[in-house]
Amino acid sequence: MAVTVRLFAAARAAAGVSQLEVAAGSVQGILDSLVESHPALRQVLPQCSYLLDELALHDLGSQVNDDSTLDILPPFAGG
């Protein structure tokens, strides 16, 4: 019973891991705890967007429940 956080591209590179398990809470709370455990994320997160269970997330106050997946997406650079 936990939240799965998936980190991509520059966020993965900064954290040094592609996936983490964290305790349920608000998105902002989860991000704060990630920065505490992986300080290099501090510079990347302000540019990122987020998916909660594959849906775009606009309110960092949203609650993330156990068994959910939070994706951290740096700015796109396709093409």
User: Under the rule (CB under 8 A), what is the footprint of another protein?
Assistant: 8-10, 13, 44, 47, 51, 54, 71, 73-79
CB-count burial class (<10 Å; 0-12, 13-18, 19+) for 47: exposed
Beta strand spans in 1-79 (E): 3-7, 19-22, 25-26, 49-52, 55-57, 63-64, 69-73
Report in angstroms how near the CB of residue 75 gets to another protein at its nearest: 4
- 28 vs 43 by CB, closer to another protein: 43
- 23 vs 47 by CB, closer to another protein: 47
| Residue 74 DSSP one-character state | P
Report in angstroms how near the CB of residue 19 gets to another protein at its nearest: 12
33: helix, coil or strand? helix
- 8 vs 25 by CB, closer to another protein: 8
Report in angstroms how near the CB of residue 68 gets to another protein at its nearest: 16
